[in-house]
Amino acid sequence: MDIVYIKELRIDTTIGIYDWEREIKQTLVLSLEMGHDNRPAGNSDDIAKTLDYYTISRRLIEFVGQSEMLLIERVAEECAAIIMNEFGVRWLRLHVGKPGAVPEAVDVGVVIERGERV
């Protein structure tokens, strides 16, 4: 299985459970690894045969940026569903970080893995 990745996609959104968090924008940082067979694109130089990381990035920026979820766990699940359902990805590993949530830590977050590695 080949992997297409997006590293440290920064998205400003409303996220959090506290009242003060509902009144501001905070940055979430997403990193993704997506299973995809890159051979058809590599053999043809045809972008239509790729897993288009630019289009996926734009979709996630739009979705997360407009969302007002409470938990990063939900952000992760919703993003995974979009990637798998809309882009035909069968396996992914997704990191969702919330830098600044714990002042003593560089970052905190969740990592989920969905689908079957082939």
Instruction: Share the mean pLDDT of the chain.
Output: 96
> How does DSSP assign 19-59, residue by residue?
GGGGGS-EEEEEEEEEEE--HHHHHH--GGGS--HHHHHHH
Instruction: Provide the token pair at 107.
Output: 């970052």
Laid out side by side, the sheet with 68-69 consists of: 68-69, 2-15, 26-36, 91-97, 109-115
pTM (predicted TM-score)? 0.94
> How many residues in the chain?
118
**pLDDT score, position 59:** 98
Catalytic residue from among 7, 25, 49, 98 = 98
38-66 per-position pLDDT tens digit: 999 999 999 999 999 999 999 999 999 99
- Whether residue 98 lies in the annotated active site: yes
Can you tell me the distance from the alpha carbon of 65 to that of 91, in angstroms, rounded to the nearest whole number? 24
Quickly name the fold that domain 2-115 has. GTP Cyclohydrolase I, domain 2 (3.30.1130)
